[in-house]
Amino acid sequence: MEHGFGHYAGIVKVGGGGARIATHTDGVGTKVMVANALKRYDTVGIDCVAMNVNDVICTGAIPISFVNYIAANRNDESKFAEIARGLAKGARRGAVPIVGGETAVMPGLFGGGSGSGRKFEFDLAGTVVGLLPQSKRDTAGILGGRIARGDVIIGAHSTGLHSNGYTLARKALDGTPLRSKLYRGGPTIGDALLEPTEIYVKPVLDMLQDAKVEIHGLAHITGGSFTKLTRLKRIGFEIDDLPPMPKIMQLVMERGRISVSEMYRTFNMGVGFCVVAPEDSAPLVTRAFSRYRIRSRRIGRVTASAGVTVGSARIA
């Protein structure tokens, strides 16, 4: 194994020609419970693909295949079809083929039988394989080895909570009608919670293939939020210019009386993906995101002291 635990994917060499593959497995978490509450299953498939491909590209790998696994307490073909439509949509956005999958009906898994009157319950996960191309680019550098003081952190905007922090969000919003409006003229709270995870594959692969762009680290901001930056290197990451907090996160913070520091440790706070690069590469990074209509901005910098700070809050 070339790179194992602690990063976003495991990398192994295959054959004798120096080829390498990266693999990663992830799921949607308790976001599936929101889908069940609203009886809407067309977006969680996108999330499943996103959580996998967004992680594997952090190693510089090109996603080349994806398989999924659905476990449910009863056979419901219409719901499975909705989930499958989301998986297909996510695969198109992530430019990765779905080469197989498994659906397992296990009545006892979720604590009940499979009768038609029983509430449908399910879990969803997937696995992605990525190929690390043999090129002049230094993969070890992309994994964080070249991150140094003075580098900047470019944050690509998220589309909401993505697929993390839902246990805390559901607790904070317990008793809040999910079909009520998040704000006047806006989506319902439920629709905001089910907004699919943004997929960053295409702009990131463009950067990796552009010899003019120097990249020192890539981070998918998921559970643990900006503490994920420490996966790249034990150095200082200072976040000082985040986009406005998404309204759904404002509501979660207010209803749950959650501290600002806890929010920064749990939710993406409007930034779903980070690129660490020298300052002169920053405009090229933001340009790559904008080509795919993904907003991005410089949100911070690398410092000499170890840890992660957001504003005045130290979170790691």
Domain ranges of the chain: 10-132, 139-314
- Which pLDDT score is estimated for 1? 47
Mean pLDDT by groups of 10 residues along the chain of 316 residues: 67 80 95 96 98 96 97 95 98 97 89 64 97 67 88 97 96 95 94 98 95 95 91 92 94 95 92 97 97 97 91 81
CA 154 – CA 290 distance, rounded (Å) = 13
- The alpha helices in the chain, defined as continuous H runs, are 31-38, 44-56, 77-94, 139-140, 166-172, 189-193, 201-209, 247-256, 260-266, 282-291
Domain 139-314 is found in CATH 3.20.20.10: no
Which tokens in the block code for residue 56?
């594997």
Phi and psi torsions of 79, nearest 5°: -70, -40
Residues 6+ apart with CB under 8 A from 64: 96, 97, 129, 130, 131
Report, at the CATH architecture level, how domain 10-132 is classified.
Answer: 2-Layer Sandwich (3.30)
Strand residues in 84-233 grouped as ranges (E): 98-105, 122-132, 152-157, 217-220
- Which pLDDT score is estimated for 20? 87
Whether this model's pTM surpasses 0.85: yes
